[in-house]
A and B are shown apart, each in its own frame.
Chain A
């Protein structure tokens, strides 16, 4: 996958549900359509939650990677 340019980083490492989603929504809300957000989280629930959030809000989940401890999601605002 090509390198995606990140417009804003949301660092939710260490935060529990629902803060990774809440912080992502707050960040996305402030951006324009097509902007890209990178979310870092350590909450294992975020794997399913981020996908559910993207599906429900219509934003695109471009990438998701992990080093085993930190989950990284790249989301493009619709």
Chain B
């Protein structure tokens, strides 16, 4: 009979403790990790806007700066960086510094960024440099990529004040899997 087969007790899974459930629902990770990979003006702008706003909202904010994104954090007054001729040539062809960014499209030998900056002024949009200063003041941590620093021959003294200690990919993955909301820009 079928009833015989219905004798086995059903194992009821233990209910999720209310406290744990509430913690999961009501406490989303209050940390943001932006990976600033690009050195393009419009993307750097997005990084700076999101980083400063996030810190302003009380969210712990870290920005890992790597590859072309690292050039953004070289001091504006540093012109040539690197130790060998290839590294020097790279910086010569692409001027580092937050104030010397180019657009990824419609750059037109600097015409595009010039118009962009003029429009931003006209509409009172803060420049990436102003936003960077605000972000730093609000406690955003900018962390350079060790590998990129080595490859481009960048030294700590080439970089802007207040940068964090250089780290590697494993540290970044660790932050992501722990409790940060990651953004790749």
Q: Which residues of A contact B (CB under 8 A)?
A: 14-19, 21-22, 24-26, 29, 52-53, 56-58
Contact = CB atoms under 8 A, between A and B. Distances in A.
B57 A56 contact: yes
Q: A interface, by DSSP: helix, strand, loop or mixed? A: helix
Given A53-B56, A53-B57, A56-B58, A22 B123 contact: no
B53 A22 contact: yes
Nearest to A43: B124
A26 B59 CA distance: 14
B138 A25 contact: yes
A15 B52 CA distance: 15
A7 to B, nearest CB: 19
Interface of B: 49, 52-53, 55-59, 123-126, 131, 134, 137-138
A16 B138 contact: no
Contacts of A19: 124, 126, 134
B45 to A, nearest CB: 11
A25 B57 contact: yes
B134 A26 contact: yes
B52 A22 contact: yes
Given A21-B56, A57-B58, A16 B137 contact: no
A16 B56 contact: no
Given A18-B53, A53-B56, 16 more contacts: A16-B123, A16-B124, A16-B126, A17-B49, A18-B126, A18-B131, A21-B53, A21-B56, A22-B52, A22-B126, A24-B56, A25-B138, A26-B134, A52-B57, A53-B57, A58-B58
